[in-house]
């Protein structure tokens, strides 16, 4: 009905205008022309005012209805009304937010994120909407890459949004994209928007296989069953926990290929090769370690401290301590927090009789190992972390390894 | 002694050979490599080693380019003579089973006990055997519990129980035993570790023993495990180091286990307790001076111990294997004061920097560099660890590099010895295994097979087949003690199991030439701490009579050198425990010799040589004519 009136009003207004123009041609007196002009102006003004009033009233009605329907959790009706509103005011945030609320009530998640996407970025609620969107993408729709992109958009709008840092760091941690994870952690630290778990991930950047890898990657694989990234991250928790050889759990992980099978499938996968490197070093298979070092493109491998550590092991085993030291120091520069590199540097220098330098790295190892042990004994959740104590220890370690960027921020924190 | 052969795949050895080549141990030109020290040479066809082993490059990008792709290794089947043993306890009349008293309570102390000690109680030259017994660890009637047992070896070679006649009444819940002549009267005494007060039994020389624990001042009521004798204060007599484990009272046990089922407590959940070091005052009394002498460390949960000179300064040091906490190396500072130096020497934790669940520990010079190496046994999924002694810079964990990582991942090792069983000139390693709890649902075996590794330089090879039927049977192994019980010049073994009979493993290896020594120091007739360096043509071998080693067990106080194919005479440098050096030249091999320290022995600093060859086996005749051995003449070469 409203819509019909609006149309009638528009038609009448145009007809009046045309007839005045015709009259003016017949009686072009000055007074008449002024009167006609005034009348026309008045008419147009009144029409505009009427239209605006009608529209305002209509939007208020829509808003009011949306509020009511939302409170009553009448999601279908809310969706209908909000849809009308959004058609009328697509540049406004509210109708999209109500639409999103309606579809969230109906659990139509793909539509929810569509609606949230429409929230104008200029609106002060855009950040909250996008944060909600990323949560749905990560946790409900299992579309983590979309979640990451949304987080990135959030951070472009406001780099101070803690949750966006947390979510994206978590994703890169859970998918074992360690270099990107560290880059994001350091970015968050530099703008003081890091959370305590950022430091947990930073300290464990080169060695941690989180206890939730299997669970999250199994979910995320739904969004891309052929995803190498998720397959490898999922499998690595199974391998590192030795779940496949545990009779109590073996059946549960029967569908996971063996590590050897997966490596055959993805022979150049960074994480998989790094896993085998560690295993093969422990087994003392020098030739195999050399082979594995070549399996990953050099430009990727040389940015990964695990490969430098492996090379150091080869150097050492072949009787080249000076090369081993050089490789270990490179590993140390790439990840100053990895306790195993600290230990190996201590061990290598000790064997060369360089007691003082060795003692320095032993002190670092003692601290980093203690922190790592604390991480390993967290009850599967960083929430159980005593963040004050942890940050204090982290500060000591950051100072020991000379990581000023981290130490400066931690000093403020503790 | 039938020759025994094992068949192995050569590709398993390939890496080791290449490693050896890379460190300058062989030709890098040919395609055929001969490995010395084996009865049958290994021949492999391989790409020229020099192509494969390149000096490490300075960048990862060049690494790939430096390597040629591995070429196919043409591996053929070869035969190697490995050590072999035959289980002879039953035909020898030795019947004994260590009972851990398991009754479903799963008390922590049930997991650890069972040790054996070789001694010559009557100085007849034939090793006798002391065996610890457990029983009910939480009984109200201790006096009703089974006794530790002493078996004497008769001239026929059969064992007979002599516990009653020896007057030994040891009814505590025993764990281990350490044999030593603390009063230097020439008769082996017995120290027994218990859950509760330990016991010192003095050999009275007439076949009987006297419990002198109280009068000697041996006061240690903690849960003790392994123990070792050694002259820690360099005063000539033997002192006693006692490993103490954790603070656990079987009468008031901690509740452990999961899902409502009782389980063996994890040592990380139980407080450690300090070890004891009883310094011998030379008058039959001791005092615990562990704290005053620096023999203590944080997180002490000791299960294994070795007393030996690890830094070749002529002074005995102490290595302690701790369960789940870093191991200790107490370096002797020269005045009976020790400094814990395991980190400085690189033998506290594994190559990965992880503290392991150490149980037993073996010592020997596997790489023949004259420095004593260490081999520690560990929990399942940890692998045992071989620490190579590099010399003045300490140790390096080389477990993986010598092929010892993977074979022990599924094992839970306890007793271990490093000896050259087949006398090919290289040390072998024996390990007895067995779980501490029933973790079969988690994929671990409860009973486990023992393992034997033969050093085929530069890697060890597991003797899975051909070592004897004993190695195919699963048991719960604990203590292992070596002794030449059949007096034929090679090492036999006593292996203690929980709740199944003790095994006596007679060495049946097809073996090389050998030389056996008993060293009688002036103040230390058992010669504990003596270090002998043998020179035979180009060969230089070192043997040390260490205190302790293995787990809860004690060994015959002799040294045996395996000499492989070489039957030439040997020269000896004998480094006596008091620091004096003695040279013995042109000693015929394939015999047992008794060496007595010269009074006014020559010091190291003088570096003068003195030649003195003692007639073989004269000690028994000289000092104990009434207990002369039967006709067990010095064996000549048994090698064909």
pLDDT in tens, B549-573: 999 999 999 999 999 999 999 999 9
Region at B405 (left for phi over 0; alpha for psi -120 to 50; beta for the rest): alpha
H or E element at residue B535: strand B531-536
Which pLDDT does position B59 carry in this prediction? Answer: 57
CA angle B97, B322, B176 (to 5 degrees): 25
pLDDT in tens, B234-265: 999 999 999 999 999 999 999 898 878 889 99
| B333/B43: higher pLDDT | B333
Of B23, B60, B392, the CB nearest to A319: B23
pLDDT in tens, A153-192: 999 999 999 999 999 999 999 999 999 999 999 999 999 9
Of A286, A324, A353, the CB nearest to B19: A286
Least trusted range by pLDDT, from A126-130, B6-10, B410-414, B490-494: B6-10
Q: Which residues of chain A are within 8 Å of residue B22 when distances are taken between CB atoms?
A: 318-319
Q: How crowded is the C-beta side of A178, counted as CA atoms within 13 Å?
A: 25
| Average pLDDT estimate for A378-392 | 76
| B330/A387: higher pLDDT | B330
Whether B9 and chain A come into contact, CB under 8 Å, resolves to no
| Average pLDDT estimate for A350-371 | 96
DSSP characters over B473-500:
S-B-EEEEEEE-TT-SSS-EEEEEEBSS
pLDDT at B42 over 50: no
Q: How crowded is the C-beta side of A56, counted as CA atoms within 13 Å?
A: 6
Q: Which residues contact A207 (CB under 8 A, 6 or more apart)?
A: A338, A339, A340, A372
Whether B68 and chain A come into contact, CB under 8 Å, resolves to no
pLDDT at B73 over 60: no
* Structure tokens that stand for B274 in this block: 């300090």
Percent of all residues in chain A with a pLDDT value above 70, rounded to a whole number: 90
**CA gap B616, A139 in Å, rounded:** 82
pLDDT at A92 over 70: yes
Residue of A nearest to B56 (CA): A315
Which pLDDT does position B606 carry in this prediction? Answer: 36
Q: Which residues of chain A are within 8 Å of residue B18 when distances are taken between CB atoms?
A: 286-287
Q: Which residues of chain A are within 8 Å of residue B393 when distances are taken between CB atoms?
A: 350-353
Which pLDDT does position A378 carry in this prediction? Answer: 77
CB B582 within 8 A of CB B531: no
| Average pLDDT estimate for A226-253 | 90
**CA gap B579, B575 in Å, rounded:** 6
- Residue A23's SS3 state is helix
pLDDT at A9 over 50: no
Percent of all residues in chain B with a pLDDT value above 70, rounded to a whole number: 81
Q: Which residues of chain A are within 8 Å of residue B351 when distances are taken between CB atoms?
A: 282, 347
Tokens 């490179």 correspond to: A330
Which pLDDT does position A57 carry in this prediction? Answer: 65
- Smallest Cα distance from A264 to chain B, Å: 17
Mean model confidence pLDDT for chain B: 84
Decide if A351 and B393 are in contact by the 8 Å CB cutoff: yes
**CA gap B272, B254 in Å, rounded:** 14
Report how far apart, in Å, the C-alpha atoms of A39 and of each of A7, A111, B295 are: 21, 49, 111
Quick one: CA dihedral A300, A306, A308, A312, positive or negative? negative
Decide if B60 and A339 are in contact by the 8 Å CB cutoff: no
**CA gap A12, A16 in Å, rounded:** 6
Decide if A283 and B405 are in contact by the 8 Å CB cutoff: yes
| Average pLDDT estimate for A97-125 | 96
* Buried/exposed B202-231: b ≥16 CB within 10 Å, e otherwise: bbeeebebebbbeebbbebebbbbbbbbbb
Decide if B60 and A314 are in contact by the 8 Å CB cutoff: no
CB B201 within 8 A of CB B189: yes
Whether B104 and chain A come into contact, CB under 8 Å, resolves to no
Of B67, B343, B402, the CB nearest to A290: B67
H or E element at residue A287: helix A286-293
- Residue A23: CB atoms within 10 A of its CB come to 12
Which pLDDT does position A21 carry in this prediction? Answer: 46
Quick one: CA dihedral A60, A65, A70, A75, positive or negative? negative
pLDDT at A346 over 90: yes
Crossing angle of the two packed helices A109-118 and A94-105, in degrees rounded to 10: 170
**CA gap B483, B526 in Å, rounded:** 14
pLDDT at B228 over 80: yes
Whether B15 and chain A come into contact, CB under 8 Å, resolves to yes
Report how far apart, in Å, the C-alpha atoms of B391 and of each of A350, B402, B533, B604 are: 12, 18, 16, 19
| B494/B260: higher pLDDT | B494
Least trusted range by pLDDT, from A399-403, B52-56, B366-370, B501-505: B52-56
- Of A148, A141, A86, the residue nearest A118 (C-alpha): A86
Give the residue extent of every domain in chain A: 57-203, 211-266, 279-332, 335-414
pLDDT at B623 over 50: no
Which pLDDT does position A53 carry in this prediction? Answer: 66
Least trusted range by pLDDT, from B80-94, B241-255, B459-473, B590-604: B590-604
CA B301 to chain centre: 19
* Structure tokens that stand for A239 in this block: 């391998």
CB B244 within 8 A of CB B222: yes
Asked if the bond preceding B337 is cis, omega within 30° of 0, the reply is: no
Given pLDDT bands bounded at 50, 70 and 90, which one contains residue A43? Answer: confident
Whether B633 and chain A come into contact, CB under 8 Å, resolves to no
- Smallest Cα distance from A390 to chain B, Å: 21
Decide if B60 and A290 are in contact by the 8 Å CB cutoff: no
Q: Which residues contact A397 (CB under 8 A, 6 or more apart)?
A: A203, A337, A364, A367, A368, A371
Residue of B nearest to A292 (CA): B64
Q: Which residues contact A38 (CB under 8 A, 6 or more apart)?
A: none
- Smallest Cα distance from A226 to chain B, Å: 30
Question: For B408-450, where are the E strands, in sequence order?
Answer: 413-419, 428-433
CB B325 within 8 A of CB B301: yes
- Smallest Cα distance from A352 to chain B, Å: 7
Residue of A nearest to B58 (CA): A323
Which pLDDT does position A33 carry in this prediction? Answer: 78
Decide if B442 and A246 are in contact by the 8 Å CB cutoff: yes
Which pLDDT does position B614 carry in this prediction? Answer: 37
Q: Which residues of chain B are within 8 Å of residue A355 when distances are taken between CB atoms?
A: 344
Counting one residue from A and one from B, how many pairs have CB atoms under 8 Å apart?
108
Decide if A323 and B56 are in contact by the 8 Å CB cutoff: yes
Decide if A347 and B351 are in contact by the 8 Å CB cutoff: yes
What CATH number matches the domain at A57-203, 3.30.70.2190, 1.10.3720.10, 3.40.50.1980, 1.25.40.10? 1.25.40.10
Decide if A315 and B56 are in contact by the 8 Å CB cutoff: yes
pLDDT at B588 over 80: yes
Q: Which residues of chain B are within 8 Å of residue A277 when distances are taken between CB atoms?
A: none
H or E element at residue B152: strand B149-153
pLDDT at B414 over 80: yes
| Average pLDDT estimate for B353-378 | 97
Q: Give the dihedral of Cα atoms B535, B539, B544, B548; nearest 10 deg.
A: -160
Length of chain A: 414
Crossing angle of the two packed helices A305-317 and A321-334, in degrees rounded to 10: 170
CB B435 within 8 A of CB B448: yes
| B33/B342: higher pLDDT | B342
Of A248, A327, A344, the CB nearest to B442: A248
Tokens 């195919």 correspond to: B472
Given pLDDT bands bounded at 50, 70 and 90, which one contains residue A72? Answer: very high
Crossing angle of the two packed helices A126-135 and A144-157, in degrees rounded to 10: 160
Q: Which residues of chain B are within 8 Å of residue A339 when distances are taken between CB atoms?
A: 353
Given pLDDT bands bounded at 50, 70 and 90, which one contains residue B616? Answer: very low
Of B19, B398, B406, the CB nearest to A283: B406
Whole-model pTM: value is 0.84
Q: Which residues of chain A are within 8 Å of residue B15 when distances are taken between CB atoms?
A: 284-287
pLDDT in tens, B471-481: 999 999 999 99
- Of A80, A93, A90, the residue nearest A132 (C-alpha): A93
* Structure tokens that stand for A58 in this block: 């209509």
- Of B450, B367, B387, the residue nearest B416 (C-alpha): B450
pLDDT at A354 over 70: yes
CA A197 to chain centre: 14
As for the ipTM of the complex, it is: 0.81
pLDDT in tens, B419-441: 999 999 999 999 999 999 988 88
pLDDT at A225 over 60: yes
Starting at the earlier edge strand, list the strands of the sheet with B428-433: B413-419, B428-433, B451-455, B460-462
pLDDT in tens, B87-143: 999 999 999 999 999 999 999 999 999 999 999 999 999 999 999 999 999 998 888
Decide if B58 and A323 are in contact by the 8 Å CB cutoff: yes
Percent of all residues in chain B with a pLDDT value above 90, rounded to a whole number: 75
**CA gap B373, B355 in Å, rounded:** 18
- Smallest Cα distance from B52 to chain A, Å: 8
Length of chain B: 640
Decide if A320 and B406 are in contact by the 8 Å CB cutoff: no
Least trusted range by pLDDT, from A297-311, B1-15, B468-482: B1-15
pLDDT at B631 over 60: no
| Average pLDDT estimate for A86-112 | 96
- Smallest Cα distance from A371 to chain B, Å: 14
């Amino acid at each position: 009905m409203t819509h019909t009136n609006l149309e009638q009003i528009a038609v009448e207004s145009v007809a009046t205008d045309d007839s005045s123009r015709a009259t003016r041609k017949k009686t072009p007196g000055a007074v008449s022309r002024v009167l006609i002009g005034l009348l026309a102006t008045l008419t147009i003004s009144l029409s505009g005012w009427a239209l605006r009033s009608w529209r305002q009233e209509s939007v208020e009605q829509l808003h009011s209805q949306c509020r009511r329907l939302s409170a009553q959790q009448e999601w279908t009706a809310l969706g209908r009304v909000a849809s009308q509103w959004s058609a009328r005011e697509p540049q406004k945030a509210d109708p999209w937010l109500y639409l999103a609320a309606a579809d969230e009530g109906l659990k139509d998640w793909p539509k929810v994120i569509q609606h949230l996407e429409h929230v104008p970025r200029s609106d002060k609620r855009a950040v909250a909407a996008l944060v909600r969107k990323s949560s749905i993408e990560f946790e409900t729709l299992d579309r983590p890459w979309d979640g990451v992109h949304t987080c990135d958009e959030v951070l472009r709008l406001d780099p101070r949004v803690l949750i966006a840092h947390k979510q994206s760091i978590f994703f890169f941690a859970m998918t074992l994209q360690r270099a990107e994870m560290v880059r994001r952690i350091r970015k968050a630290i530099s703008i003081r928007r890091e959370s305590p778990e950022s430091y947990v991930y930073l300290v464990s950047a080169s060695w941690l296989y989180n206890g939730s890898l299997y669970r999250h990657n199994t979910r995320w694989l739904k969004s891309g069953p052929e995803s190498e990234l998720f397959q490898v991250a999922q499998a690595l928790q199974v391998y590192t926990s030795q779940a496949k050889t545990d009779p109590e759990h073996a059946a549960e992980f029967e569908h996971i290929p063996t590590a050897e099978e997966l490596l055959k499938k993805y022979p150049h996968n960074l994480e998989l090769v790094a896993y085998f490197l560690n295993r093969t070093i422990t087994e003392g298979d020098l030739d195999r370690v050399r082979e594995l070092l070549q399996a990953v493109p050099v430009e990727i491998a040389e940015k990964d401290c695990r490969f430098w550590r492996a090379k150091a092991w080869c150097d050492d085993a072949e009787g080249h301590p000076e090369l081993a030291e050089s490789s270990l120091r490179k590993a140390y520069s790439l990840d100053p927090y990895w306790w195993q590199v600290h230990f190996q540097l201590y061990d290598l220098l000790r064997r060369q009789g360089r007691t003082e330098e060795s003692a320095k790295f032993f002190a670092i190892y003692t601290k980093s190992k203690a922190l790592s042990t604390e991480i390993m004994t967290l009850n599967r959740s960083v929430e159980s972390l005593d963040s004050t104590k942890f940050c204090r220890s982290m500060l000591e370690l950051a100072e020991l390894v000379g990581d000023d960027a981290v130490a400066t921020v931690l000093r403020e924190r503790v | 002694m039938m020759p025994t052969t094992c068949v192995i795949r050569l590709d398993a050895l390939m890496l080791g050979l290449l490693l050896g080549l890379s460190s300058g141990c062989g030709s890098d030109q040919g395609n055929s490599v001969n490995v010395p020290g084996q009865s049958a040479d290994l021949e492999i066809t391989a790409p020229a080693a020099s192509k494969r082993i390149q000096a490490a490059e300075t960048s990862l990008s060049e690494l790939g380019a430096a390597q040629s792709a591995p070429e196919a290794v043409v591996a053929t089947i070869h035969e190697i003579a490995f050590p072999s043993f035959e289980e002879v306890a039953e035909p020898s009349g030795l019947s004994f089973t260590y009972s851990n008293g398991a009754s479903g309570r799963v008390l922590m102390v049930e997991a650890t006990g069972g040790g054996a000690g070789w001694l010559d109680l009557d100085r007849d030259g034939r090793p006798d055997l002391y065996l610890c017994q457990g029983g009910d660890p939480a009984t109200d009637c201790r006096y009703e519990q089974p006794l530790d047992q002493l078996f004497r070896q008769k001239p026929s070679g059969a064992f007979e129980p002599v516990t009653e006649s020896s007057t030994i009444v040891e009814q505590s819940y025993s764990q281990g035993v350490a044999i030593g002549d603390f009063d230097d009267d020439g008769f082996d005494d017995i120290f027994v570790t218990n859950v509760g007060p330990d016991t010192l039994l003095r050999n009275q020389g007439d076949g009987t023993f006297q419990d002198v624990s109280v009068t000697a001042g041996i006061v240690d009521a903690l849960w003790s495990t392994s123990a070792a004798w050694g002259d820690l204060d360099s005063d000539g007599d033997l002192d006693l180091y006692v490993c103490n484990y954790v603070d656990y009272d079987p009468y008031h046990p901690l509740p452990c286990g999961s899902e409502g089922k009782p389980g063996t407590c994890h040592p990380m959940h139980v407080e450690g307790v300090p070890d004891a070091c009883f310094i011998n005052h030379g008058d039959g009394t001791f005092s615990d001076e562990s704290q005053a002498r620096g023999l203590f460390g944080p997180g002490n949960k000791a299960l294994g111990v070795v007393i030996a000179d690890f830094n070749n300064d002529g002074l005995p040091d102490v290595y302690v294997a701790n369960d789940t906490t870093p191991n200790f190396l107490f370096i002797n500072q020269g005045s009976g004061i020790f400094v814990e130096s395991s980190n400085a020497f690189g033998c506290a934790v594994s190559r990965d920097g992880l503290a392991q669940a150490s149980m037993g520990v073996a010592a020997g010079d596997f790489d023949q560099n004259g420095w004593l190496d260490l081999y520690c046994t560990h929990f399942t999924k940890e692998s045992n660890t071989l620490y190579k002694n590099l010399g003045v810079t300490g140790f390096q964990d080389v477990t993986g590099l010598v092929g010892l990582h993977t074979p022990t991942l599924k094992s839970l090792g306890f007793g271990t010895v490093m000896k050259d069983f087949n006398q090919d000139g290289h040390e072998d390693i024996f390990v007895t295994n067995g779980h501490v709890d029933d973790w079969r649902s988690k994929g671990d075996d409860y009973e486990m097979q023992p393992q034997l590794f033969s050093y085929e330089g530069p890697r060890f090879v597991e003797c899975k087949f051909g070592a004897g039927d004993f190695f195919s049977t699963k048991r719960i192994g604990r203590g292992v003690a070596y002794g030449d019980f059949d007096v034929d010049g090679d090492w036999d073994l006593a292996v203690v199991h929980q709740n199944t009979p003790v095994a006596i493993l007679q060495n049946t290896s097809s073996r090389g030439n050998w030389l056996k020594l008993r060293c009688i120091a002036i103040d230390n007739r058992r010669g504990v701490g003596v270090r002998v360096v043998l020179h035979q043509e180009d060969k230089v071998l070192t043997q040390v009579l260490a205190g302790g080693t293995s787990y809860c067990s004690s060994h015959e106080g002799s040294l045996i050198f395996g000499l492989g194919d070489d039957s030439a005479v040997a020269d000896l440098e004998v480094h006596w425990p008091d620091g004096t050096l003695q040279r013995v030249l042109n000693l015929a091999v394939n015999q047992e010799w008794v060496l007595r320290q010269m009074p006014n022995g020559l010091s190291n600093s003088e570096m003068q040589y003195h030649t003195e060859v003692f007639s073989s086996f004269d000690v028994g005749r000289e000092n104990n004519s009434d207990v002369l051995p039967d006709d067990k003449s010095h064996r000549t070469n048994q090698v064909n």
